Structures are given as structure tokens and as C-alpha cells.
Amino acid sequence: MSNTKITNTTIATTDVLNRYLFNDMHVRGELVQLSKSYQSIIKNHNYPVGVRVLLGELMAATCLLTATLKFEGEITVQLQGDGPIGYMSVNGDNNQQMRGIAKLKPQQKQTKANSLHELIGKGTMVITIRPKKGEAYQGVVALEQATLAECLAHYFEVSEQIPTKIWLFSDDDKQQIAGSLVQLLPDGDGSSENLIKQESDFEHISQLTNTIKADEIFSLDAQALLYRLYHQEKVSLFEPQAISYQCGCSHDKCLAAISQIAADEIESILAEQSKISMTCDYCLTTYDFFYDDLKSFISKDSH
Ligand SMILES: [Zn+2]
């Protein structure tokens, strides 16, 4: 394996995304290992175990997806259906700043469900891509495969016609999540000989990646893991990208939302409660606004 060093460390570098390329093949790969950033997303929410594991998997999947962005922008992946979870959503940008939430239906706060289909029921995955410049676009696929990894791979096949395989791992005791993606990189040469080679390269790398074990992905760093999986191949590993938890809510954004409320309604809430409180669904931070914060909204169209 070229361009990478073998390390003996068993301490994984977590909260990073690694991207790599097979030098002699039209195949690329990604590896994501989450710890602190995932723990921040589930903190204080008291999600049942099945829900927090699925949210972690969705977070890892969203990291893998945002790494495919070729421009500045963000991706939101939302699961919705008729199961115990009303919706689950993770949002990430090209800097791997992530946030996410699971909204359980009122009677389902303690659900024991723990597979994608038990939790979401009959449902869909909605992927929204918002470039900083230009139009947003959305892809919707039915959740027809058994696992989230398979559903996402199916999305790539349908919407982008790119053969893709995805593996997701969770360790609820250590509160760690990890994932890997392998993708064919089609080139301009459409000759049948070339297509057959591409397909067999992709299959070969997929089979090697399929030997990855949970205890390896949670204990080895990227270099050691790539050596373990692909030591007979030539692999170029790019600079790792840090993944962080970033909610993005703020006092000012809440104030902007309140400014949309009618002045007489603001006045009546203040008269009743002496303040308007807003709690962020994602990080559960509460922002309080008193008369002095809001008087400009009241006076502007008051009589
Ligand atoms: Zn927040």
C-alpha cells in the first residue's frame, strides 16, 4: 500500500472523515468514525436505545454523503413514516458540521423498536441538497431495503446511477458510530472492456471492505484500518476532515422567528407569561425574550 504509513496505535482518531482513492482502479472510499460529535447530538434527549442507534447511523450516513459534495453547501437526510418515529433528520455541511434530531410520536417515547422498519414503519428517505449558491434539489426514495445502509446505497443507484456500497456500525455501550462507503468512479471510456474492469474492481473492493469488523472500525485509526483491509492495493489517503457538532441556533435567529408573529399576539403572550420562550428542538437550548427585547416588534404596527 503506497502513500500511507502503517501505525501500531490502537487508539482510534474519532470524529473524523477519511477519504481515499485506489490508484489503479476507478474506485473511491470513505471512512467515518464518530464519538464526541455523536454523543453531543443525543445528549439530554433521553432517546430509547433503538432510536439513538438509528440516529447515529443516520449521522454517519449523512457524513458520508456530505463528503460527496463538490461545492459549498449542506445536505439534510430525513426519514419519515408511519412508525413510532414521526421523523428523524440529520443535517451536515461541507465542513462536516452536523446536527440531528429524532421526533417520536407522543405515545412512543419509550419505544422498544430497534430496526429501521420497526422504527420508521412504511416510509421514505428525503435527501435535500442546498448549495450555498444556486438552487436546492431534493431526492425521495422509499425505504424498501432492510437497513439504512442499503437504502442509502439504493438512493445512489437510483438518483445518481453510481454503484455504491455502504456499511454502518454502532456500539451503544461506548456510544460510537462508524461507517464506510465504497463507490465506483465512472470515467469517460464507455468501452465494454473498460466497463467490465470497472465492475470487477468495484466488486473486489466491496468484498474486501465487507470483511471489516465492528471491533476494528471502533479501535483502529484510518491508516491501520486501510492496511488491514487493502494491504495488497495501492491506496491514496487524503487529509482527514474533522467532524463536529454544531447546532446553528442562536438568540438572533429566534428573534427573527418571533418577528413574524403578529404584534397583538406578542403582546398577549407577554401579558400572560411576561416573556416568550423558545426551545431549540435540536440542542434543547431555551432562549427567553422579555418586553425590552420585543418592544420594537410591538410598537412598529401598534395603534
Ligand atoms: Zn440549537
- Asked if pLDDT for residue 299 goes beyond 80, the answer is no
pLDDT, the chain, mean:
91
Amino acid, res. 279: T
Q: What angle do CA 181, 185, 191 make, to 5 degrees?
A: 145
**For range 10-34, the mean pLDDT:** 88
Q: What angle do CA 181, 168, 101 make, to 5 degrees?
A: 110
Bridge partner residues of 168 (DSSP): 179
Domain ranges of the chain: 16-245, 251-300
- Asked if pLDDT for residue 197 goes beyond 50, the answer is yes
Distance 193 CA to ligand 1 centre (A): 52
Q: Are 22 and 234 in contact (CB under 8 A)?
A: yes
Distance 92 CA to ligand 1 centre (A): 14
Distance 249 CA to ligand 1 centre (A): 4
H or E stretch including 124?
strand 123-131
Distance 2 CA to ligand 1 centre (A): 43
- Quote the CATH superfamily of domain 251-300: HSP33 redox switch-like (3.90.1280.10)
- Asked if pLDDT for residue 9 goes beyond 70, the answer is no
Other beta carbons within 10 Å of 41: 26
Confidence at 55, pLDDT banded by 50, 70, 90: very high
Nearest to 268 by CA among 302, 225, 235: 302
- Asked if pLDDT for residue 186 goes beyond 60, the answer is yes
pLDDT tens by residue, 80-121? 999 999 999 999 999 999 999 999 999 999 999 999 999 999
Distance 293 CA to ligand 1 centre (A): 20
Q: What is the pLDDT of residue 296?
A: 87
What is the Cα gyration radius of the chain? 22
Distance 284 CA to ligand 1 centre (A): 6
Q: Are 235 and 269 in contact (CB under 8 A)?
A: no
Long-range contacts (CB closer than 8 Å, 24 or more residues apart) made by 164-173:
165/206, 165/209, 165/210, 166/61, 166/64, 167/209, 167/210, 167/212, 168/57, 168/60, 168/61, 169/214, 169/217, 169/218, 170/53, 170/56, 170/57, 171/214, 171/218, 172/49, 172/52, 172/53
Distance 59 CA to ligand 1 centre (A): 16
Confidence at 10, pLDDT banded by 50, 70, 90: very low
More confident residue, 202 or 296: 202
Q: Which of 33-42, 156-165, 257-266, 294-303 has the largest mean confidence? A: 33-42
Q: What is the pLDDT of residue 32?
A: 97
Confidence at 278, pLDDT banded by 50, 70, 90: very high
Confidence at 300, pLDDT banded by 50, 70, 90: low
Distance 289 CA to ligand 1 centre (A): 16
- Asked if pLDDT for residue 253 goes beyond 60, the answer is yes
Q: Are 64 and 33 in contact (CB under 8 A)?
A: no
Distance 257 CA to ligand 1 centre (A): 14
**For range 247-270, the mean pLDDT:** 92
- Asked if pLDDT for residue 297 goes beyond 90, the answer is no
What DSSP line would sit under 251-291, residue for residue?
HHHHHHHHTTS-HHHHHHHHHHHSSEEEE-TTT--EEEE-H
Q: What percent of the chain has pLDDT over 90?
A: 82
- Quote the CATH superfamily of domain 16-245: Hsp33 domain (3.55.30.10)
